[in-house]
Chains A and B, each alone.
Chain A
């Protein structure tokens, strides 16, 4: 059995959630519940979803991430997806998964930087 554990820690005013390599449906659903619980408890300014260990991202996982991200926004926070692997990024793109336009960052470090600056220089036209 592979490790199905989600790790959720509070770093400064941010939640850092680390996903296991191949989470089953129950684990993916748990992700949402844990996040909502922690959002309520700590009211952090943001959530970093570390998927650097994730090998497969299917539509169910992607939908759950998108929903979670929307919920976090509604509760006054900002979500950043960090560490998506190249193979996962390419596959997700070809499958048509968009993550609902949620912010993404190359690493957890960058994600924390992004959340630390409330008006990131990301909107370019």
Chain B
């Protein structure tokens, strides 16, 4: 799998959450994702960027456009050096939803995207990677 283009934006303020949405909208639209998939990807990015800002205060969103045997995809990675997630399994259980204002909303984000990987270490930080592939 190779990446065709990549970039990053810092997440340090509330404005950066909007900036992240805009960048992701541009990328998803350019890649010709359907309307609903564009909305899914932007919303997932908004949630993950917000997590970084709310819980840690500072982090980065990396983006890259992927090419795997002719399939095109968008990969977003949210990285912070915060406290880490102590119990990832619990965070991934449905029921820890964002609509109650608690938790990270990770199960919902996973539902919106095709792939999700979380790497976290207490005291060191967290990386959440999500991918969406273009449907034919």
Instruction: Check whether chain A touches chain B (CB < 8 angstroms).
Output: yes
Q: Find chain A residues with CB under 8 A from B9 CB.
A: none
- Interface code A19-45, partner B: CB below 8 Å = 1, 0 otherwise? 000101110000000000000000000
How far apart are the CA atoms of A95 and B47 in the complex, in Å?
10
A contact patch SS: helix
What range describes how many residues of B lie at the interface? 20 to 34
In the bound assembly, the distance between CA atoms of A91 and B47 in angstroms comes to: 12
Once A25-B17, A96-B94, A96-B105 are accepted as A-B contacts, the answer to whether A86 and B43 lie under 8 Å apart by CB is no
Known contacts: A62-B99, A91-B36. The answer to whether A22 contacts B18 by CB under 8 A is yes
Does A75 count as interface, using CB distance less than 8 angstroms?
no
Tell me if A98 is interfacial: C-beta within 8 Å of chain B: yes
Using CB atoms and an 8 Å cutoff, list the residues of chain B in contact with chain A.
14-15, 17-18, 21-22, 25, 35-36, 38-40, 42-43, 46-47, 50, 94, 97-99, 101, 105, 107-109, 111-112
Is residue A3 within 8 Å, beta carbon to beta carbon, of the partner chain?
Answer: no
In angstroms, Cα B18 to Cα A115, docked, is 34
Chain B CB within 10 Å, residue with most, of A25, A86, A87, A95: A95
C-alpha spacing A63/B38, complex, angstroms: 22
28 contacts between A and B (CB under 8 A): A24-B15, A24-B18, A55-B25, A55-B42, A56-B25, A56-B42, A57-B43, A59-B50, A59-B98, A59-B99, A60-B46, A60-B50, A86-B36, A87-B38, A88-B39, A90-B36, A91-B36, A91-B40, A94-B108, A94-B111, A95-B98, A95-B108, A95-B112, A96-B94, A96-B97, A96-B105, A96-B107, A97-B99
Q: Is the CB of A94 within 8 A of B112?
A: yes
Chain A positions within 8 Å of B17 at CB level = 24-25
Nearest residue in A to B36 (C-beta to C-beta)? A87
Cross-chain contact of A58 among B38, B50, B101 (Cβ < 8 A):
B50
The CA-CA distance from A119 to B107 in the complex, in Å, is 37
B-binding residues in A (CB < 8 A)? 22, 24-26, 55-60, 62-63, 66, 85-88, 90-91, 94-98, 100
A87–B50 CA distance with the chains assembled, in angstroms: 21
How far is it, in angstroms, between the C-alpha of A85 and the C-alpha of B112 when the chains are bound? 17
